[in-house]
């Protein structure tokens, strides 16, 4: 069975969610041009030295989850969650996607992977 493509994943999202996802994808590409993107764990995963963010549609919103979000939370107030590692941001419309702030968060997440390595590997 063939793995789903990023384009197929995005095309399967409802209208508003697809617009949000495309806006976030553009920011990721601007912030981390060499990032790999693929479908893993039923979501769009962005990787640079391991996964740093993942995008998933939910009823009424899209979340962008950061693997090392707990480390980034002190500098980025939009991050939600209470786990020991991950945090996320929710978006209901493309207008909710803040350009510079989100781009900085994405850059910080990728930089954390460059410094610390793949967050999915045990040390």
Q: What is the mean pLDDT of residues 100-110?
A: 93
- Is 71 inside any structural domain? yes
- Is 57 inside any structural domain? yes
Write a three-state SS string for 29-46. Answer: HHHCCCCEEEEECCEEEE
Residue 112: pLDDT band with limits 50, 70, 90: very high
Residue 53: CB atoms within 10 Å: 30
Query: What pLDDT is attached to residue 1?
Result: 63
Total domains in the chain come to 1
**Phi, psi torsion values for 52, nearest 5 degrees:** -120, -20
- CATH number, position 33: 3.90.1150.200
Query: What pLDDT is attached to residue 123?
Result: 58
For 20-79, write each residue's pLDDT tens digit: 999 999 999 999 999 999 999 899 999 999 999 999 999 999 999 999 999 998 877 889
Range of the domain at 77: 6-115
């Amino acid at each position: 069975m063939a793995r789903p493509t990023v384009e197929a994943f995005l095309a399967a999202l409802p209208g508003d969610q697809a617009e949000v996802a495309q806006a976030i994808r553009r920011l990721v590409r601007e912030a981390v041009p060499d990032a790999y993107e693929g479908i893993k764990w039923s979501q769009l995963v962005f990787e640079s030295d391991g996964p740093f963010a993942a995008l998933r549609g939910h009823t009424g919103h899209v979340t962008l989850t950061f693997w090392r979000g707990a480390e980034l939370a002190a500098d980025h107030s939009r991050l939600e969650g209470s786990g020991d590692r991950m945090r996320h941001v929710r978006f209901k419309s493309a207008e909710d996607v803040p350009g510079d702030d989100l781009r900085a968060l994405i850059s910080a997440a990728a930089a954390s992977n460059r410094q610390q390595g793949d967050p999915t590997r045990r040390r």
